[in-house]
Amino acid sequence: MNDARDFKYVRESEIIMTELVLPNHTNQLGNLLGGQLMHWIDIAAALSASKHANIVCVTASVDKIDFLHPIKLGNVVNMVASVNRVFNTSMEVGVKVYAESHIEGTRIHSNSAYLTFVAVDGEGKPLKVKKLIPETDEEKRRYEGAEFRREQRLKSRPV
């Protein structure tokens, strides 16, 4: 999407990514490996960031990934990613993970994650990103929360 606007709406950055948990994705208990899920989350978040920025975006940090419920072999994993807030060259992306069992007819929120991405040019130099406009109450809540999380990230940076 190439337009002259200097902003985008949150909904324009949304990515829904779906994966099937296969035997090579699981541990000895038949649960999805945490590292595999982190890999999928990183891909979904990168797609969301680059969709917003219209350019390659690289992972700058992963704040937190909460593992709320195990995801089982045979489950379908849906990751919903969207940009929460844009700062200058960086943006926070939130990812919600849902585990579905089509056999049991269940869907649970199993994980949440926050990642920071930076838009870069062909030489890896950071580029300014279009502003983000939240519209819904949920988007506004995530937008405000991103400012607090950024402050915490900056405080914990090594000097």
Cα distances (angstroms) measured from residue 113 to each of 68, 95, 149: 11, 5, 12
Residue 2 falls inside a structural domain: no
The structural domain count of the chain equals 1
**CATH label of the domain that carries residue 63:** 3.10.129.10
Q: What is the pLDDT of residues 46-56, one digit of tens each?
A: 999 999 999 99
Residue 18 falls inside a structural domain: yes
Q: Tokens 């590292």 correspond to what residue?
A: 35
Residue 83 falls inside a structural domain: yes
Q: What is the pLDDT of residues 89-112, one digit of tens each?
A: 999 999 999 999 999 999 999 999
Q: In terms of residue numbers, what domain contains 76?
A: 7-156
Q: Tokens 């208990």 correspond to what residue?
A: 29
The pTM score is 0.92
